[in-house]
Every structure is written in structure tokens, then in C-alpha cells.
């Protein structure tokens, strides 16, 4: 009886029908003879999960498992073909697939009735050297040259639910306007997303936000709230309102409602933490806890940079970099789906280590072998007791 490999188990999380539909609508495989988007995706996911250090290592490792290619509906990989596909093929199909997987994770979170807590942040991927200079030099900043990955992270599901990419010099809040806002959701972000009109849109959509005031925020205090003596970390809890009708020069400030300003002391730093939120009723400690959850998205960025391949690239063109970054997000999502589907208690890193060491192993065959061996040992032990 045929048993599928761990690689195939991971790929079961992909909406293959949606992928084929997207390819057909965009006519993305029109000029592809034997290396379509499915073959391309499988190759890139193999590169992420196997930890291949280069295109040559990816080609050699994948082609050494030729017996499994038929069941994956692919064939042997040629290094030059994969390099050309990464360089010339648009990342649109990969981005659409990642979007569908993220929407699937978001729907599952809603079905389970979990709190809709979203963490928003970005991270920079440094790209310097030959070929990178052609398309990253124009968008560089004083400190960074490369590409910036923006992510909306689901705290309950621990997976990204929205993503975008931009040049390094693009302000984070410009990408925030692209996020589809949801009612009864809480959005947590840092000072880089300080745009009062965007805060207004979150409030109008029925959502809640927790962020930080900038030092130069012009506000007036309307009410001092009572402090809880049991929480000495909370120094001030105030209802405030913006003083001015404009922000950033002549731009009109549409946020005319009261806001809440919470000042917290920090044991490790002399500078206080000044939080801003449109939640006027929750305890100050709950608001502080929500902002502390923002650290999870930082840990996500650290995890993918350490364990997936997004710091060195198989190609140096903009298309190649975007495809590889999106492939890393897809591989993370599929790994999380695999862990949840099988009810694994191991951490995500332990799951990746297991997959990486036995990507083409058939676990069901191994499990049946060990079950049979344990049964034989139990029968043998039982017979030995009867002899005594």
C-alpha cells in the first residue's frame, strides 16, 4: 500500500485548485514548456525546508530523490531553468497563493472564536553587492539598502495574515493603508505607524488600536483617571484630545474623538512608555499587556531569518528576491498547518528540524513497523511469563 512522504503531507495544505485557477486566469504558464508554476513552487519550497545553501545544492539534493518526483507531479530540476524562472517570472502567482493561505488561517481563527489580535510591523532585508545595486540603490536609506517586508501577524494563530513588500525608504504607514480593516479586531503597532487619519479609519471600522504617542504629539488632557495602587507601573491614565486640526503641516487631522494616554514606567529604561489607544474602558494593565504582545511579531521575524532562507538568495534580481521571500512565508504557513493538523506538541522549530532531516521519509510505514515490533515484543514477554 502506498504511503505519502512528509513532503507530500506538507503540500496537502496548499489550495492546489486555487493555484491552478490563478495560473489559468493570468495565463502565467503560457510560455512555460516543462517548468510551470507548480514545479517552480515545489522546487522553492524544497529549498526552504531542506536548507539548501545554493542553486547547485538544491538541484543535487532534489534530483537525488527521483523516485518521488512522479508523486509530486514534477520532474528533475535544472539549475539554469530555475535561475531563469526566478529572474524572469513575476511573483504574482506566489503572492496570491500566500494571500489565500493567510485568509484560510484567518477564517479558522474566527471559527474558533479566538480574540482578533493583530500585530503589525516590518523588517528590513539587507541586499548589497553585485546585481543587487541595480534595483536597491534608488530606494536605500542612510542605514539600510534592500527590501522591506511588512507583515500583519495573528497573535492567536501565530501565523502572518497579510504581507506586502516595499523599498527600504518607504514609510511603514504607507503600507498600513493597504490592510483590510475588520470590526472588533485589535491592532497593535509601534510609533512608525503614527498617522492619526489611519487611526481614525480603524476606529470607524469598529476596531481597536494600541500604539505609542510620539514625543511631539499635541494633545490636551480632558480627564485624569484614577490609578490602581496595586499596579505601580502605571504612572498616569488620562483621557486626551488632539489640540490641532492638522497633522504634519497642512494635512487635516480627521481624528476628533477622545483618546486615552497611559504612561508606564520601565524597569530597564529611564524613559517612560506612553501608550495611545481608542479603548476608553479596559484596565490600563490590559492595554499594557496588549502592547507587550507586539514582541511576538519581532520573534516571528527573528525565527524566519534564523531558520528559513531569506538572508542569502538563489538569484539577485528583484523578482528572484520577492519569489524567495514569499516562498519562505508559504513554507512557514504550511509548516504551521502541518503541526496543527497532526496535533504535534513540538515547537515549530522542532517540526522544521524533523521535516528537514526526513523530508522524503514515509512516516506511516515507520509507525506501522514500530507498532508491529512492539506487538511482537509484548507477545514474547507474555509467553515468557507463561513458561515461568
- Take residue 131 and report the three cell numbers written for it: 546585481
Give the pLDDT confidence score for residue 322 in this predicted structure: 95
Give the pLDDT confidence score for residue 201 in this predicted structure: 95
Q: DSSP letters along 6-35, please?
A: HHHHHHTTS-HHHHHHHHHHHTTTTT-SS-
Give the pLDDT confidence score for residue 33 in this predicted structure: 78
Alpha carbon distance 51, 34 (integer Å): 25
Domain ranges of the chain: 190-293
Give, in order, the Cα–Cα distances in Å from 184 to each of 203, 275, 369: 10, 20, 50
Give the pLDDT confidence score for residue 92 in this predicted structure: 92
CA dihedral 162, 330, 295, 200 (to 10 degrees): 0
Residues in contact with 24: Cβ distance below 8 Å, sequence separation at least 6, in sequence order: none
Q: DSSP letters along 296-328, please?
A: HHHHHHHHHHHHSS-SS-S--SHHHHHHHHHHH
Alpha carbon distance 69, 63 (integer Å): 8
Q: What is the chain's Cα-based Rg? A: 25
Give the pLDDT confidence score for residue 72 in this predicted structure: 87
Alpha carbon distance 67, 71 (integer Å): 8
CA 329 to chain centre: 6
Give the pLDDT confidence score for residue 320 in this predicted structure: 94
Give the pLDDT confidence score for residue 161 in this predicted structure: 94
Q: Give the pLDDT means over successive 10-residue stretches in the chain (388 positions).
A: 79 87 88 87 94 92 90 90 92 93 78 81 91 89 91 92 94 93 94 92 95 89 84 88 79 89 86 92 92 94 94 92 96 92 88 90 58 62 60
- Take residue 323 and report the three cell numbers written for it: 519569489
* Torsional sign, CA 223, 227, 231, 233: positive
Give the pLDDT confidence score for residue 370 in this predicted structure: 47
Alpha carbon distance 160, 152 (integer Å): 6
Question: Looking up cell 485548485, which residue turns up?
Answer: 17
Residues in contact with 108: Cβ distance below 8 Å, sequence separation at least 6, in sequence order: 157
Give the pLDDT confidence score for residue 2 in this predicted structure: 52
CA dihedral 342, 346, 348, 349 (to 10 degrees): -140
Alpha carbon distance 140, 148 (integer Å): 10
Amino acid at each position: 500500500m502506498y504511503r505519502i512522504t512528509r513532503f507530500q503531507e506538507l503540500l496537502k495544505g496548499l489550495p492546489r485548485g486555487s493555484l491552478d485557477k490563478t495560473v489559468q486566469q493570468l495565463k502565467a504558464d503560457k510560455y512555460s514548456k516543462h517548468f510551470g508554476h507548480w514545479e517552480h513552487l515545489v522546487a522553492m519550497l524544497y529549498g526552504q525546508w531542506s536548507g539548501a545553501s545554493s542553486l547547485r545544492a538544491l538541484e543535487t539534493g532534489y534530483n537525488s530523490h527521483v523516485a518521488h518526483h512522479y508523486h509530486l507531479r514534477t520532474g528533475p530540476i535544472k539549475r539554469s531553468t530555475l535561475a531563469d524562472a526566478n529572474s524572469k517570472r513575476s511573483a504574482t502567482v506566489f503572492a496570491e497563493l500566500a494571500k489565500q493561505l493567510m485568509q484560510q488561517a484567518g477564517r479558522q481563527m474566527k471559527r474558533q472564536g479566538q480574540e482578533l489580535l493583530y500585530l503589525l510591523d516590518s523588517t528590513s532585508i539587507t541586499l548589497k553587492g553585485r546585481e543587487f545595486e541595480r534595483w536597491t540603490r534608488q530606494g536605500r536609506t542612510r542605514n539600510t539598502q534592500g527590501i522591506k517586508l511588512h507583515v500583519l501577524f495573528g497573535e492567536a494563530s501565530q501565523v502572518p495574515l497579510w504581507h506586502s513588500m516595499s523599498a527600504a525608504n518607504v514609510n511603514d504607514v504607507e503600507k498600513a493603508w493597504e490592510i483590510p480593516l475588520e470590526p472588533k479586531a485589535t491592532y497593535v503597532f509601534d510609533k512608525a505607524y503614527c498617522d492619526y487619519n489611519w487611526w481614525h479609519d480603524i476606529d470607524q471600522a469598529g476596531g481597536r488600536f494600541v500604539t505609542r504617542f510620539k514625543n511631539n504629539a499635541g494633545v490636551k488632557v480632558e480627564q485624569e483617571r484614577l490609578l490602581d495602587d496595586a499596579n505601580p507601573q502605571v504612572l498616569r491614565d488620562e483621557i486626551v484630545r488632539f489640540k490641532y486640526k492638522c497633522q504634519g503641516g497642512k494635512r487635516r487631522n480627521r481624528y476628533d474623538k477622545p483618546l486615552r494616554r497611559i504612561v508606564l514606567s520601565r524597569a530597564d529604561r529611564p524613559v517612560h512608555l506612553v501608550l495611545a489607544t481608542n479603548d476608553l474602558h479596559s484596565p490600563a494593565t490590559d492595554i499594557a499587556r496588549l502592547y507587550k504582545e507586539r514582541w511576538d511579531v519581532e520573534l516571528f521575524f527573528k525565527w524566519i531569518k534564523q531558520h528559513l532562507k531569506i538572508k542569502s538568495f538563489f538569484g539577485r534580481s528583484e523578482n528572484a528576491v520577492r519569489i524567495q521571500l514569499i516562498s519562505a512565508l508559504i513554507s512557514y504557513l504550511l509548516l504551521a498547518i502541518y503541526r496543527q493538523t497532526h496535533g504535534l506538541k513540538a515547537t515549530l522549530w522542532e517540526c522544521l528540524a524533523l521535516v528537514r532531516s526526513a523530508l522524503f521519509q514515509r512516516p506511516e510505514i515507520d509507525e506501522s513497523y514500530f507498532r508491529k515490533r512492539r506487538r511482537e515484543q509484548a507477545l514474547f514477554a507474555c509467553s515468557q511469563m507463561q513458561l515461568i
